[in-house]
Amino acid sequence: MARRLSLAGLSTDPRVAPAPAPFPWWRSAVVYQVYLRSFADSNGDGIGDLAGLRARLPYLAWLGVDALWINPHYPSGGADGGYDVVDYRAVDPDYGDVADLEALVDDARRVGLRVVLDVVPNHTSDQHRWFQAALADPDCPEAGRYHFAPPSEEPPNNWQSLFGGPAWSRTPDGRWYLHLFAPEQPDLNWRDPEVAADFEQTLRFWLDRGVSGFRVDVAYGLYKDAALRDNPGFYAPTLFGHGPEQAMTWNQPEVHDVWRRWRSICDEYPDTMLVGEVCLADLDQVALYSRPDEMHQALSFRLLKSAWDPASFAAAISSALDAFGTVGAPVSWVLGNHDKERQVTRFGGGALGRARARAAALLMLALPGSAYLYAGEELGLPQAAVADEAKRDPIFLRSGGARAGRDGCRIPMPWNATDGVGFSPDGAAEPWLPIPADWGRYAVSRQAGRNGSTLQLYRRALALRKAHPAFATGTATVTTNGDVLTVRCAGEEETVRCVVNMGAETALVSCSGTVLLSSSRRVHSAGGTVALPPNSAVWLVED
Ligand code: GLC
Ligand code: CA
């Protein structure tokens, strides 16, 4: 019987069930994180830019990711890699202009990629017009949008900056102001309604230009204890993030109302999403940020922080599945980003680190939910050694060199194996961070056509993840057996598995299924048994 359809496309026949809501793209997307300054330089000034990224969209479409998240593109004071924003509704001239961003969004859509921006609501740059006005006049309305305290001998409380030293600095006229990061990043006072109103305009400004959402920086911040009471302990985060010792600075209950308002704005723009950076030790608290009326997802950093052993990885996976499952949100898995040491190095460096990073990639891409893939991980880039004089990271600079800082994971991308690795059109351009002499060996041009390269492994995995939706959307169970970790994902049509050998000996795994992909050339399968060499992973589809 023909369905009768109204003009709006809605069924008017009561016997025809309404079509189920489409599965939203972000629930299973692979989002590629572009460190804009280091991705591709179009005009030869040694700085990556929007036109350079636009020209490389075919590469990202070929790789097979679903969306891009671009690190901050705003005019910035340059104190923290763009996370000190001077103007939230503009593009830093180093990167282009708003028209370039619109062109990027349009071109990306044409090749099936969505663009997600980074938004930084916890703090502005000290160069922001509000902070400048507040410096000039303590009584102006803008001063109420930050945390100022009158001159006194001692800072108002014991809060510490995440980048080292006290979280309070003085203005030239002797007042104190709060900065939980660098002194050039004064924290906003979200109890001032003007702050909230201004960010809502910012969201709409970019959503109106077609972006698909935002990665929300320091989403567990924004509100501080109303009485600015001392923290019970000093800055000493646990492995997995901040805990009760930082109770007065992070995770105040009021912050959830901000995400409810932002969610309702996104709901006006179809297919957009918010993904929050929430670095709290308690994963159940993190999950609360992705309740159905708050952000769509909150990044899960457990994999990125787990030691290379099956118990740690199994706990990372099941605790995240449990915590986010409770609120109905997908887990957003992360193995690397612009703040952490590159995987190859973190997992032991050299051939060992590479083998483990390749296996870890197969593991992450086999998990249900979304995955965040940091540019350059698909090339197996190691952490680069950066000379102290070339370092830009405030973590290095403010710790007096005691902490290495994050520059080594932010080196320009190697596109080809010629002089300058094809980052700038003119190989002679001085890149904004020095490129190691051997960077060409990781170049896209070297790996793209080579079977067994890390780039081909990622590309193959991304294609198989699409072809076998059980990976990204199935129901996962995690088990360990000695050195072997198995994730089994039951989908509607088939059941797939990722098996990882994290030990030093070859492991024999019995399985009646077909091998789809393996991270090592030395994986063998015969007669229902798969031989997995040390530090390797395999994808299987069960018979
Ligand atoms: C987030 C960013 C980091 C930045 C910090 C302050 O943690 O990922 O790069 O330094 O926020 O904005
Ligand atoms: Ca440039």
What is the residue with the minimal CA distance to atom 12 of ligand 1? 83
- Residue 83 Cα, ligand 1 centroid: separation in angstroms? 6
- Of 84, 217, 294, 378, the active-site residue reads 217
State the DSSP code for 57.
H
Does the pLDDT of residue 2 top 70, yes or no? no
User: Contact 64/463 with Cβ under 8 angstroms?
Assistant: yes
CB atoms within 10 A of CB 68: 24
Each residue of 517-529: pLDDT tens digit? 999 999 999 989 9
The pair of structure tokens assigned to 92 is 């830093």
- Residue 181 Cα, ligand 1 centroid: separation in angstroms? 8
Which amino acid, residue 345? Answer: T
How far apart, in whole angstroms, are the C-alpha atoms of residue 354 and residue 481? 23
What is the residue with the minimal CA distance to atom 4 of ligand 1? 83
What is the residue with the minimal CA distance to atom 6 of ligand 1? 83
Share the mean pLDDT of the chain: 94
CA quadruple 255, 257, 258, 260: dihedral, nearest 10: 130
- Of 139, 154, 173, 268, the active-site residue reads 268
How far apart, in whole angstroms, are the C-alpha atoms of residue 416 and residue 441? 9
How far apart, in whole angstroms, are the C-alpha atoms of residue 450 and residue 445? 9
Q: Which of 76, 85, 181 to mutate to test the pocket of ligand 1 (most atoms within 8 A of CB)?
A: 181
**Structure confidence at residue 244 as a pLDDT band (50, 70, 90):** confident
Does the pLDDT of residue 3 top 60, yes or no? no
Q: Is 198 a catalytic residue?
A: no
What is the predicted pLDDT for the residue at 6?
32
| Least reliable range by pLDDT among 8-12, 150-154, 194-198, 444-448 | 8-12
Which amino acid, residue 306? Answer: S
Percent of the chain with pLDDT over 90: 89
What is the predicted pLDDT for the residue at 9?
35
What is the residue with the minimal CA distance to atom 5 of ligand 1? 83
What is the predicted pLDDT for the residue at 10?
38
What is the predicted pLDDT for the residue at 512?
81
Average pLDDT rounded to a whole number, residues 319-336: 98
**Structure confidence at residue 18 as a pLDDT band (50, 70, 90):** low
Does the pLDDT of residue 149 top 70, yes or no? yes
Residue with tokens 């000695």: 482
Average pLDDT rounded to a whole number, residues 234-238: 63
Each residue of 495-516: pLDDT tens digit? 999 999 999 999 999 988 999 9
What is the predicted pLDDT for the residue at 234?
67
Does the pLDDT of residue 296 top 90, yes or no? yes
541 Cβ neighbours under 8 A, 6+ residues apart: 468, 494, 495, 496, 497, 513, 514, 516
Each residue of 72-105: pLDDT tens digit? 999 999 999 999 999 999 999 999 999 999 999 9
Does the pLDDT of residue 345 top 50, yes or no? yes
Identify the CA nearest to 510 among candidates 492, 493, 491, 497.
497
How far apart, in whole angstroms, are the C-alpha atoms of residue 187 and residue 40? 32
**Which residues crowd ion ligand 2, with CB under 5 Å?**
41, 43, 45, 47, 49
What is the predicted pLDDT for the residue at 511?
84
**Structure confidence at residue 7 as a pLDDT band (50, 70, 90):** very low
- Ramachandran sector of residue 327 (left: φ over 0; alpha: ψ -120 to 50; beta: rest): alpha
Q: Which-ligand-closest: CA of 398?
A: 1
State the DSSP code for 369.
S
Average pLDDT rounded to a whole number, residues 315-325: 98
User: Contact 151/171 with Cβ under 8 angstroms?
Assistant: no
DSSP 371-382: EEEETTGGGTPP
Does the pLDDT of residue 458 top 90, yes or no? yes
| Least reliable range by pLDDT among 43-47, 241-245, 256-260, 414-418 | 241-245
List residues bridging with 517 in a β-sheet: 539
From the CA of 122, give the closest atom in ligand 1.
Answer: 12
User: Contact 50/162 with Cβ under 8 angstroms?
Assistant: no
User: Contact 104/117 with Cβ under 8 angstroms?
Assistant: no
Each residue of 477-486: pLDDT tens digit? 999 999 999 9
Q: Is 492 a catalytic residue?
A: no
What is the predicted pLDDT for the residue at 233?
75
The tally of CA atoms less than 13 A away on the side-chain side of residue 302 is 26
State the DSSP code for 469.
T
Output the ligand 1 site: residues, CB below 6 A.
80-81, 83, 120, 181, 217-218, 277, 338-339
Q: Is 327 exposed, middle or buried (0-12, 13-18, 19+ CB in 10 A)?
A: middle
User: Contact 506/531 with Cβ under 8 angstroms?
Assistant: yes
Average pLDDT rounded to a whole number, residues 127-152: 98
From the CA of 84, give the closest atom in ligand 1.
Answer: 12
Give the gyration radius of the chain's Cα atoms.
24
User: Contact 205/234 with Cβ under 8 angstroms?
Assistant: no
The tally of CA atoms less than 13 A away on the side-chain side of residue 365 is 34
Helix, strand, coil percentages (3-state) for the chain, rounded to 5, are: 30, 20, 50
3-state secondary structure 148-205: EECCCCCCCCCCECCCCCECEEECCCCCEEECCCCCCCCEECCCCHHHHHHHHHHHHH
For residue 459, the surrounding DSSP H or E stretch is: helix 454-467
User: Contact 323/283 with Cβ under 8 angstroms?
Assistant: yes
Q: Which-ligand-closest: CA of 393?
A: 1
Buried/exposed 252-278: b ≥16 CB within 10 Å, e otherwise: beebbebbeebbeebeebeebbbbbbb
What is the predicted pLDDT for the residue at 419?
75
Does the pLDDT of residue 238 top 70, yes or no? no
Residues in the chain: 543
From the CA of 80, give the closest atom in ligand 1.
Answer: 10
Q: Which of 128, 217, 392, 403 to mutate to test the pocket of ligand 1 (most atoms within 8 A of CB)?
A: 217
Does the pLDDT of residue 29 top 50, yes or no? yes
Give, to the nearest 10 degrees, the angle between helix 193-207 and helix 255-267. Answer: 30
Does the pLDDT of residue 357 top 80, yes or no? yes
What is the predicted pLDDT for the residue at 8?
37
Average pLDDT rounded to a whole number, residues 388-398: 94
What is the predicted pLDDT for the residue at 390?
97
Q: How many helices (H) and strands (E) would you count in the chain? A: 15, 19
**Structure confidence at residue 236 as a pLDDT band (50, 70, 90):** low
Q: Which-ligand-closest: CA of 430?
A: 2
Q: Is 401 exposed, middle or buried (0-12, 13-18, 19+ CB in 10 A)?
A: exposed
Average pLDDT rounded to a whole number, residues 205-227: 98
Does the pLDDT of residue 400 top 50, yes or no? yes
What is the predicted pLDDT for the residue at 200?
98
